[in-house]
Copies of this chain bind each other. A is one copy, B any other.
Amino acid sequence: MSNTQHVRIKDISAALAGQAVEVRGWLRNKPGGKGRYFLWLRDGSGEIQAVAEQSELSESVWADCERIGLESSIIATGTVRQHPKNPDECELLLTDIRVLQEVTDYPIGKKAHGVEFLMKNRHLWLRGAKQSAILRIRSEVQQAFADFFHRRGFYRVDTPIFTPNACEGTTTLFEVDYHGDTVFLAQSGQLYNEADIGALGQVYCFGPVFRAEKSKTRRHLLEFWMLEMEAAYYDHQDNMRFQEEMLAFTVRRVLNNCRADLKILGRDPAKLEPALVTPYPKLRYGECIEIVNDWRAGQLAQAREVGLDEARELLMSGKSVNIRDESFEDKSEQKQRISAFRWGDDFGAPDETAIGASHDRPVFVTNFPVEIKGFYFKDELNDDGTERIDPVFARLQANEPKLVVPGATGHTILGSDLIGSEGAGELIGGSQREDDLKRLEAKIRHHNLPPEFLEWYVDLRRYGNVPHAGFGLGLERTVAWLGGGSDNPLHLRETIAFPRMLHQYEP
């Protein structure tokens, strides 16, 4: 059998009909018996059915077919032919088999297992049809990103993991003893990318980032992968255009190259197609306040079984009201306090769902209040260089002051969050960066950041300062949106091979 052509399952098509091929992989399942087995073979690239007919096989090959159990490793030879029921698919008529390892006690069966058992056996659970399909989509997404950046003339850089300072506060940092000094595991490569563009103009990095989330929920990954772009001579608008074009390109690649995987996941490709069309909708932060409050009133009305008007009145009273939201997996999260969303509040996950639900494709939320964003966001100014007051803020302050967080200025930044459709939440956060030296220094003081650690960063505004912008994309959330969305929502822990969560660092 060693003379037969070895083919990967994904490459078996009608073009090979009538030919003998060799498949090297594992047995996924074995329905049949009484003279005929349907051997479901998988090799990592896909799955194919090999029909084993007792009448066509030698006694020893048939005996092998009878004895092998799930996840036995086998090399099978067969003749390619059209699948009798699914003319788009092929199957094999088995001619020979070599059993490398007979397995009869594979621990993951067809019965439903609890999450704890599956996570403990993640090294085996990965082989499941759904889990491996997710990982193939993840791989395609990564290659699509790399290709998009390469075609646009961007250079890949690798930003450091060990960092002396934190750009967004220190409460969720992992510390490392670095030969007697304390350093932190990076939560972003952005500041370094801003230096890298001085050398390379347009760059991206892709690597792990770390957040020591203390939340008891199992929704957060403590280690996840982030794609970060930075480009010299890009403004806020260029930045959003790049993001939407990159995402449309990636969606196209997944639709073209991962059809079989989407099918395994029960993911309807039609729901991703709107994201192929750019530009994506853009909503200013101020415009979202009403959307979020409408949605919160709806939630409250449902929970309290009251009319929408009454719920709205309750919401606007300025107090917070308890409701129960059973969509959360963890009981501890189901008890929710709900109150009116005010200018100056930051969006929570349900708010992002509400905003995302208003469109069939990802939507940008732009121009957030300066108070809720990091020190490096560029201020939105009037043409004369004075600080702009957002008109929604002005209207709220005049007419509905309860809907304004005390102390809010109405000043906004030139940045955006890209919210995925179907409740996917924030996929990308980006902005033009503050390139006014004095404003940047003032913000560093205002945020109480240690200026000595940022001296090098401020240098970038002193020597060859240029307008520039960039963004960060969370890979796991993007994969969850692409592979699951609202059809069969994926848990973040399924979107990476070996997730790291609170109390979960094995295997």
Contacts and interface: CB of A to CB of B under 8 A. Distances in A.
Given A179-B214, A195-B126, A460-B123, A201 B8 contact: yes
A270 to B, nearest CB: 26
Contact of A143 (B43, B123, B135, B146): B146
A138 B73 CA distance: 39
Contacts of A201: 8, 25, 43-45
The 5 A-B pairs of least Cβ separation, nearest first, read A44-B201, A456-B507, A123-B195, A126-B199, A139-B155
18 contacts: A25-B201, A44-B197, A44-B201, A45-B202, A75-B233, A100-B466, A101-B465, A121-B459, A123-B195, A123-B198, A124-B195, A126-B195, A146-B146, A157-B497, A158-B225, A160-B498, A162-B500, A179-B503
A106 B26 CA distance: 62
Interface stretch (A170-178, A351-359, A387-395): A170-178
A163 B505 contact: yes
A269 interface: no
A103 interface: yes
A397 to B, nearest CB: 36
B208 A161 contact: yes
A223 interface: yes
Nearest to A11: B153
A158 to B, nearest CB: 6
A464 interface: yes
Interface in A309-358: none
Given A199-B131, A199-B132, A158 B101 contact: no
Given A158-B496, A159-B497, 11 more contacts: A43-B201, A100-B465, A123-B456, A123-B457, A127-B198, A138-B156, A139-B156, A157-B497, A158-B208, A158-B225, A161-B161
Nearest to A10: B153
Interface residues of A, number: 94
A301 interface: no
B179 A177 contact: no
Contact of A176 (B8, B150, B185, B497): B185
A233 B502 CA distance: 36
Contacts of A505: 160, 162-164, 178, 181, 183
A243 interface: no
A57 interface: no
Contact of A464 (B103, B143, B214, B498): B103
